[in-house]
Structure 1
Amino acid sequence: MALLVYATAADYTAYTKKPAPADIDGDLERASERIDELLQGAVYATDSSEMPVDADLRAAIARATCAQAAWAREVGDPYGVASAFKKTDIGSVRLERASGSDASGPPRHAQDAKAILRRAGLLPGVVIDATAWR
C-alpha cells in the first residue's frame, strides 16, 4: 500500500498563511502518518486512491495534516519520537525513557490536528458494519 499524503504545500500555505518551506513535502508525509494513527477506526468512504470522497472530510484531513506538520516543525520533532522520552538533555546526552501509565513525555499528535478531526466527526473513531452502506 502506498503512503497517503493528505495535504500539499499549497494546503500548508493556506493553513499557516506563510510560504511553505522548501522541505515541506517530507514534513507532510510524516504528518500524514501521524494523522493515519489518529484515523484508525474512523469510517468514511474513499475513492480509488484511498482519499476521502466527501469534500468536507477531505478538507478537514488536509487541514489536520497541515496542523500536525506545522506543530512538528515548531516543536522540532517531525518524527514524533520525543513522546518516547520523559526527559531529554543534550549536554552529555541523557535520555530518560517514558514508561507505563506515568509516561509524561511530550505528545505525539498536535492538539489542533485532533480538534480539527474531532469537529469533522472523525474522532473518536467508531467502527460500524460497512456492509450497511451498500
Structure 2
Amino acid sequence: MCNSYLSIKVHIVSNEWSEKNITWNNAPSYGTEITSEDITDGMEFNIDITDHISNSSELSICILEKSPYCTYGLQSNSKEGGGYNSPKLMIQYQGISIELGLFIFSLILMVLGTIGIIHQKR
C-alpha cells in the first residue's frame, strides 16, 4: 500500500462474467462510478451499494485505484484466503413497522390460544 493514503473508486460492471472463467483479457469494462474513497494501509472500508440494488439477483462491481498510483496498489485477500481480512458482504435491512409487528404478535397469540383451547377440550 501507500505510505499515506490510496484513492479508490468503485464502478458497476456488467454481470456477464463467471468466477471460474474470468481473466484480465475478458473482464467486463467498468461503467458508472458508484463512489470513491481514500483509504490508508490496513484500513477496513465499506462500500454502500444500497442505491444501486434493483430487483436483479446480481450486482457486479469493480474496485479501481485512482491516480496517483502507489507502488503496490490495492491489495486484498480473496474469499479463499479466509480469516479476518477476507472480503465480506454485510447486509443491513429495515425491520417491520411497529403496527405490523403488533398485528403479527396478536395473530400468534390468537393461534396459540386456540391451540390451547383445542388441547384442553381433548
Fold conserved (TM > 0.5)? no
State the TM bucket, normalised to the shorter chain: under 0.3
Normalised TM-score (structure 1): 0.20
Normalised TM-score (structure 2): 0.21
